[in-house]
Amino acid sequence: MEIKNSQTLVITGASWGDEGKGKIVDLLASEAEIVVRFQGGNNAGHTVVVEGKKYKFHLLPSGAIQNKIIVIGNGLVVDPKVLFEELDMLKKEGFKPNLKISETAHIIFPFHNLIDGLEEGKKGDYAAGTTMRGIGPTYCDKMSRFGIRVYDLLDEKIFRTKFEKIFELKRKMYKTLVNSDKDWDLDKEEIFKQYLEYGNKLKQYVINTAYYLNQAIDEGKKILFEGAQGALLGIDHGMYPYGTSSVTWSGGVCAGSGVGPTRINKLIGVIKAYTSRVGGGPLPTELHGDIGHKIREQGHEYGTTTGRPRRVGWIDLFNLKYSIMINHYDSLAITLLDKLAGIDPIKLCIGYNYNGQSLKTWPIQSEIIEKCIPEYIEMPGWEPLPSEEWSRIAKEGYNSLPDKAKDYIDKIEEILGIESVIISIGPDRSDTIIRKSIW
C-alpha cells in the first residue's frame, strides 16, 4: 500500500460503538497537536489504560491525558456539569487540560435528561435503551431551533430570553409525557443561576473552533478527530430508531467541526474482533449461551457510561461491509483480538438470509434485520495465553501472533476488502501491534 502522510486523521467506530476507540485514539494522539471531538456528548465512554491505570472519559477527547490541545466541536451536545467534573478529575491527576470549546455546541439541561427517560418509556419495543444523558432531546431542540448554544450562556439577557422559552416548552412537554397536570420538581431560577455560573466558568475556553481548526491546518498542525459511538449507531446510517442522535460516521467530522471534506487526509475505522452492542434493536449474530457469556467476561463487556452488560455476538462482516463502504476508510484497527482466545471454532457472519434468500446488501431497516438469519463461515480458534504472553507478542510484532489468529485477521481483511494496520491485544497502550506507519 502506498503510504500517505497526513495532517488530519479521523478515527471512528465502524459498528455499534465500544470498539475500543479510546485506546487507539490515545495511541495515535501522541503525534497530534490537537485532538477533536465532533459529535455526541457524555453518552460516550472511552477507557484508556496507561501503565495499568484506567482513565474514563465521557465528554472530553481522550487526547486529554497526553496534554494535547483538546477541542469540543460544534457538533457536540455538552452537559457543563460533566465537563467540569472531567476537567477537575484531570487536574487532580496532574494533567493540564488545554481545552477549546465551540461557541455553537449545544447545551444539555436537566430537563433534557428527564425527557430522555420519559420518551423512552413511550416507545415500547422501539426504545433504543438510551444512556439517559439527555442526548436525543438536546439534539432535537437543536434541530427545531429551540436549543441553547454555548455562546448563549455568556450573555445573561440573551440566555434569559431563550431559557424562558425552552423551560416553559419542556414543562408542557413533561406534563404531556407523564399525562398529568402535576408540575416537575425542577426549579427554574436555580437552573438559570447554575447555568449562568457555568457560562462564566466556560468563557475562558470558548472560541469559534471552525476558525481555530482551519487556521491550525493552514499552519501545518496535526489534528486527530475522535469519533464517539459507531457508524451503525448513527442517526443517518445506523439502524433506526435503535441508535443515537448524532452523525457518527466519518462524514460527521465536517459538519461537527467546520473542517471541509477536502481537508481530511486519512480515515481509520475501529472494529472489534467480535460484535458488541448496548441498548435495544436486533442483533442477528447475538450469542445468548455460554460462548456469549465467556466473551462478555473475557472482554469485560460492561458499559463505561451506564455499567450495563453489553450484548455480544460473532463478528458481523455483512454490516461492517456497509459501514466500510459509507466511511470509505483507508484502513482498520482491530481490537480485543486476545479476548477471543479459547473460543473454538469462531464464527464469522458473511451474509444474511431473509425469507429463504441470501441478501446482496445489508438491509438497514430494523424490522427486516430482525427476521434475518445470519450466514456463517467457521474458523478454528486459538489457545488462551497469559497476559504476559500477549505483551510479549505485542513487543515482537505481528508475526508472533498465533497462526490461527493471523488467519482470522486475513479472513476479515479478505472479506471486507480492506487492510488492518493496528491490532490491539490488551488494554494497555503497549499491548498493540502497529503494522504500518499511520500518520
CB atoms within 10 A of CB 359: 16
Nearest approach, Cβ of residue 417 and ligand IMP (Å): 26
Question: Which residue's CB is nearer to ligand IMP, number 147 or number 199?
Answer: 147
Site string for ligand IMP, 267-296 (x = CB under 6 A): -----------xx-----------------
Residue 299 near ligand IMP by CB under 6 A: no
**Is residue 23 within 8 Å of residue 424, measured between CB atoms?**
yes
Work out which of 112, 133, 237, 311 binds ligand IMP, going by CB under 6 A.
133
Contact between 128 and ligand IMP (CB under 6 A)?
A: yes
Of 136-155, binders to ligand IMP (CB under 6 A) are 136
Catalytic residue flag (residue 288):
no
Residues 27-56, one symbol each (x = binds ligand IMP by CB under 6 A, - = not), give: ----------------xxx-----------
For ligand IMP, the closer of residues 56 and 406 by Cβ is: 56
Residue 274 CB, nearest approach to ligand IMP (Å): 15
Please tell me whether residue 335 binds ligand IMP under the rule CB under 6 A.
Answer: no
Q: Which range in 62-70, 80-88, 127-135, 394-402 contacts ligand IMP by CB under 6 A?
A: 127-135
Q: Are 352 and 375 in contact (CB under 8 A)?
A: yes
Question: Is 46 among the catalytic positions?
Answer: yes
Classify residue 175 as left (phi > 0), alpha (psi -120 to 50) or beta. alpha
- CB-nearer residue toward ligand IMP: 43 or 420: 43
Does residue 233 touch ligand IMP according to CB under 6 A?
Answer: yes
**Does residue 234 touch ligand IMP according to CB under 6 A?**
no
18 sits near ligand IMP (criterion: CB under 6 A):
yes
Asked if 243 is part of the footprint of ligand IMP (rule: CB under 6 A), the reply reads yes
113 is an interface residue for ligand IMP by CB under 6 A: no
Residue of 18, 26, 141, 152 with catalytic role: 18
List, in sequence order, every residue forming a beta bridge with 40; answer none if it has no partner. 76
Question: 26, 46, 152, 316: which one is catalytic?
Answer: 46
Find the Cα–Cα–Cα–Cα dihedral 90, 92, 95, 98, rounded to 10°.
60
- Structural contact between residues 38 and 246, judged by C-beta atoms closer than 8 angstroms: no
Q: Which is nearer to ligand IMP, 229 or 331 (CB)?
A: 229
Pairwise CA distance, residues 15 & 277, whole Å: 9
Closest CA to 209 of 66, 105, 57, 61: 105
Q: Using the rule CB under 6 A, is 15 a contact of ligand IMP?
A: no
Which sequence positions are flagged as catalytic? 18, 46
Q: Where do contacts with ligand IMP occur on this chain (CB under 6 A)?
A: 16-18, 43-45, 128-131, 133, 135-136, 228-229, 233, 242-245, 278-279
